[in-house]
């Protein structure tokens, strides 16, 4: 509800200043800016990809995903619906509020699939990993395999992507 006589500042979702490879597809509405998308990438609707993000070739990002600054995603990855990346661990007990020195980066290797509604804290994930739907990844993943739960743990009896 707005106060009579006051007008809110309106910001529109947009795709701007994106370095794109060949055959990149972005479904609107999407807020994708100052990032890099490799060849044959797909970005679904209601996705935000912030500045400085790098996404490798043939990676698919499904609807309602949020990919914040300081994230790099490899080639042939799948980012499910509603996946959330974070770069602020609230190191001082609350949001960094622009103190970027407190932010941390996230790296996903090649052939990483992240299930719907997973949350990834700042971590490094090796190649050939499956992250289950709803998982919360709180630590680096250095061994290929399937990980799920909160916090995400490896399931040794499940096949890898190889």
Q: Where are the domains of the chain?
A: 15-155
pLDDT above 70 covers what percent of the chain?
Answer: 95
The predicted pLDDT at position 122 comes to: 97
E strand segments, 56-144:
60-61, 66-67, 71-73, 78-79, 84-85, 106-108, 112-114, 119-120, 124-125, 129-131, 136-137
The domain made up of 15-155 is a member of CATH 3.30.420.40: no
pTM of the predicted model as reported, rounded to 2 decimal places: 0.91
Of 49 and 5, more confident: 49
Instruction: State the burial class of residue 52 (Cβ atoms within 10 Å of its Cβ: 0-12, 13-18, 19+).
Output: middle
Tokens representing 58 are 């043939």
Residue 3: predicted pLDDT: 67
Rounded to whole angstroms, the Cα distance separating 16 from 8 reads 23
Query: How far is residue 45's CA from residue 50's CA, in Å, rounded to a whole number?
Result: 15
DSSP-derived 3-state class of residue 73: strand
What's the confidence (pLDDT) of residue 158? 63
pLDDT of residue 21: 97
Residue-level pLDDT at 156? 78
């Amino acid at each position: 509800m707005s106060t009579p006589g006051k007008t809110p500042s309106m910001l529109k979702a947009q795709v701007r200043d994106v370095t794109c490879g060949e055959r990149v597809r972005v479904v609107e509405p999407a807020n994708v800016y100052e990032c890099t998308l490799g060849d044959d990438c797909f970005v679904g609707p209601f996705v935000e990809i912030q500045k400085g993000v790098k996404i490798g070739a043939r990676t698919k990002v499904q609807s309602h995903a949020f990919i914040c600054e300081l994230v790099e995603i490899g080639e042939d990855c799948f980012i499910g619906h509603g996946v959330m990346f974070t770069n602020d661990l609230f190191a001082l007990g609350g949001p960094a509020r622009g103190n970027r020195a407190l932010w941390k980066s996230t790296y996903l290797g090649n052939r990483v699939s992240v299930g719907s509604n997973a949350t990834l804290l700042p971590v490094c994930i090796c190649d050939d990993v499956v992250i289950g739907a709803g998982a919360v990844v709180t630590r680096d993943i250095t061994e290929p395999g399937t990980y799920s739960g909160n916090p995400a743990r490896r399931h040794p009896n499940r096949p890898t992507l190889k």
